[in-house]
Amino acid sequence: MNATKKLHDIGQSLWVDNITRDMLNDGTLRDYIDNLSVTGLTSNPTIFDQAIRKSAMYDDDIARKMPKVESTEELFFELALDDLRWAADHFQSIFERTDGVDGWVSLEVSPLLVHDTDSTLSAACDLHRRAGKRNLFIKIPGTQEGLPAIEAATFAGVPVNVTLLFSREQYVAAAEAYLRGIERRIQAGLNPAVASVASIFVSRWDAIVAGKVPVELKNRLGIAMAQRTYKAYRDFLDSTPFQRAANNGARAQRLLWASTGTKDPEASDILYVKALASPFTVDTMPEATLKAFADHGEVDGLLAADGGDCEATLDGFADAGIDTDLLAARLQDEGAASFVKSWNELMDCIKSKSGAIRKAR
């Protein structure tokens, strides 16, 4: 049994953090599903920028769709929805077999809307409707402006992948927003079984403090923050408000580990995946990390429900002058800015391709 199968068998879902038409077309995604226990997929603007920029497989669709759309953004979403519908079909049997717990793909609203609650909600509802797939999450950032949109989208029945979460406090705020949406559905007599995941970004913690902490704390901050968040997650599942909602048919919003590729070339390439093995969670991995874990991964133990030694580790970072509350806000702001940068590069890429195709034809 390979390591990815062992990870899946302890109760963790493995999703691949990538999508290209090549991997859909050449059987790569099917191979990941059949042989590496992959049960879902995530995407973001950077991933689509690389996919469209490096492949000619989108050119015919760009040429065909250009006359029918009013903006580059609309053209992108047409291309992305085609890919994600195709990917969703790959996972449909998993979605059905798990009764909607697993088998998901994700599409992000425009990062330009990160501080616009109403427009984020409108975009989320529109993309969900246009996708026409029950197993497609709409990604909404867990910013202050995103939280009301998460609640409202959940109330509207839109499955949400809450993105750009870095700390326990940010996770709890997102979980509470999701639960408020579910409670409103219960009060309105609607089905409360609306799926959601909350995505905690891990490796960026260690990247942001690299060279600023003692050697014994190197590459330990991301895991410690994840441990602290995992305890909050388990506590939330045990809380009276969630138990009350669950008794009315609500589903748990699963915790998802994101940014689990190792950024330090001197560290293990499976550092975070190995450390964050935990039941009833999702780990979304870059392709290289997924393959590395399949090749030489180990499942030695499970993440402690009580957070393990995270607080002692975090005390060490505090002693080293690291303020994790300030850093969590900074990481969320920088993450949002990074997605905006990638979005603008993606729009420029599509504009450039559109122009070249128009001239050639």
Residue 281, beta-bridge partner list: 12, 255
3-state secondary structure at position 195: coil
**What residue ranges do the domains of the chain occupy?**
3-354
Q: What is the CA radius of gyration of the chain?
A: 20
User: What is the DSSP code string of 150-162?
Assistant: HHHHHHTT--EEE
**Structure confidence by residue, pLDDT tens digits, 268-316:** 999 999 999 999 999 999 999 999 999 999 998 999 999 999 999 999 9
Each residue's pLDDT tens digit, 136-190? 999 999 999 999 999 999 999 999 999 999 999 999 999 999 999 999 999 999 9
Asked if residue 273 lies in contact with residue 296, where contact means CB atoms within 8 angstroms, the answer is: no
Choose among 233, 225, 260: nearest CA to 15.
Answer: 260
* Parallel/antiparallel/unpaired status of strands 136-141 and 281-285: unpaired
pLDDT tens for 8-57 read 999 999 999 999 999 999 999 999 999 999 999 999 999 999 999 888 88
- Under DSSP, the state recorded for 352 is H
Angle at 35 between CA 47 and CA 135, to 5 degrees: 50
Length of the chain: 361
Answer yes or no: 139 catalytic.
Answer: yes
- Out of 139, 231, 274, 353, which one is annotated catalytic? 139
CATH of 3-354, one of 1.10.10.60, 3.40.50.2000, 3.20.20.70, 1.10.8.60: 3.20.20.70
Give the separation between CA 164 and CA 45, rounded to whole angstroms: 13
| pTM higher than 0.85 | yes
- The three-class DSSP label of residue 13 is strand
Determine the residue type at 47.
I
List the structure tokens of 10: 């302890």
